[in-house]
A and B are shown apart, each in its own frame.
Chain A
């Protein structure tokens, strides 16, 4: 038997236990609610669009006849867009993060840049569209091209790539840097041989998650004038283009029910693409972590 509680305590054990159960139930309900909304959405989309989903849908160009319409140009446009965006954003983002974490002196300039990058990550995407329209489409004369779109998207995801790369670098043990420096290595040699390989899983995760955000963005591309009806594939980065979210937006805006079902089918394709990217982020991270732990 444990010693009796002194009289100055009012234990109310039963009450405390009940209150704990109530709180746990509330938290569970909150989780259930968000899950329910998501499941409803996915079920609705799948039920509506499933019957339209076949090989023809993936390999046909859009058409004003619903039976003949497909997402070929939008799917290919999205893949182009993601590839180009990654090519522009990843080197610039990683290089900026390396400068800020490994080179820059910790002064007012560093803090100013840091605060601004954090703020940029929260700027509405339509503003990036306006910037892209002024800077790339008009000023740089790229027109409504894939390239202008990719540069705009790169601007949009740069802050996230920089921040996640910085976090990956910051998580590395200081002893790793010190022991490499103590052998007479230059800063770049330390980065190249140790910091980049060790931070790779974190950097990759940030890159893929930010790219999967870019693949779902519509507003900035509509702003810079991506077309809603494209019946050809881009031959070069200077061609006009469309992407999946714009195609979906276009179809849902039509009055006919068939086109709404087509939109649902396109959403399924977009979701599969997103899930594939997130899955590859997880797999890549696991692969690199295993390689590192050997």
Chain B
């Protein structure tokens, strides 16, 4: 990390709330998070608007991926993780008495590296629905999910082939289809394009923009141009704190904080 920044400057006042449009889909209240003794997130509060793409940006180690993984309780799978504060989905706490299995069905996740199951394309899409007790028309669900992920036309004649026969970009869109098949409310994406080439990335970005009609999306990205292209709202993190969160076009034209400006203009990070 850069040492041009004075440590005290990090303790900036909480950012202004994003202009209210609809009731927030998700909300984070005073979230603190530790891996063992190391505090990774410091009193994060934010609201996520429905049917929008929210981008999390910031330099490596700023906590953006950790926060994303707090939003569907994935961090619980790591021993020594400890969390305080609240995460709300439609006003309901997803921690406390909530069942993590239910939380993860409603808040899906797409990972950095395409990681399809070593099964057929069809089985990949239907598996999550199956374990959640889906009783409807499986073929229709597979087709709908693959269409939403803009993969249907490429794979409709080879649904019984192994998912590893697909290209990296196709695998990532298969992972999106797999996530959509359980009909989540929110889709979290952790640097979904970082393992893809520019053409596959462009296609993935189109898909993301298309998806916000039906879903609420939160995308972690290292790529600021990508955040500018796909997101409606952007949140900038630095060493475990939320520095600034505002409309994306505002953030990229008139950032409120010096550190945000330094980061998005490429002076560090």
A-side interface residues toward B, CB under 8 Å?
Answer: 105-106, 173, 175-186, 189, 193-194, 198, 292-294
The reply on B101 being an interface residue by CB < 8 A is yes
Could you tell me the distance between the alpha carbons of A159 and B162 in the complex, rounded to whole angstroms?
Answer: 36
Across the A-B interface, the 4 shortest Cβ-Cβ residue pairs: A184-B105, A183-B128, A182-B109, A175-B115
A183 contacts B115, C-beta separation under 8 Å: no
Given contacts A105-B79, A106-B79, A179-B175, contact A184 B131 (CB under 8 A): yes
Contacts of B178 in A (CB 8 A): 179, 183
Contacts of B117 in A (CB 8 A): 176, 179-180, 193-194
Could you tell me the distance between the alpha carbons of A180 and B118 in the complex, rounded to whole angstroms?
Answer: 12
Contacts of A178 in B (CB 8 A): 74, 77, 109, 111, 115
The reply on B179 being an interface residue by CB < 8 A is yes
Contacts of A177 in B (CB 8 A): 77
Given contacts A106-B79, A175-B111, A175-B113, contact A183 B105 (CB under 8 A): yes
Contacts of B164 in A (CB 8 A): 293-294
The reply on B240 being an interface residue by CB < 8 A is no
Given contacts A106-B79, A177-B77, contact A183 B111 (CB under 8 A): no
Could you tell me the distance between the alpha carbons of A58 and B191 in the complex, rounded to whole angstroms?
Answer: 65
Question: Nearest CB to that of A173 among chain B residues?
Answer: B115
Contacts of A180 in B (CB 8 A): 117, 127
Partner of B115, one of A106, A179, A186, A293: A179
For the complex formed, measure the closest distance between the CB of A14 and the CB atoms of chain B, giving whole angstroms.
Answer: 50
For the complex formed, measure the closest distance between the CB of B95 and the CB atoms of chain A, giving whole angstroms.
Answer: 16
B74 contacts A183, C-beta separation under 8 Å: no
A193 contacts B74, C-beta separation under 8 Å: no
B120-157 to A contact mask, C-beta < 8 Å, 1/0: 00000001100110000000000000000000000000
Could you tell me the distance between the alpha carbons of A189 and B128 in the complex, rounded to whole angstroms?
Answer: 10
The reply on B193 being an interface residue by CB < 8 A is no
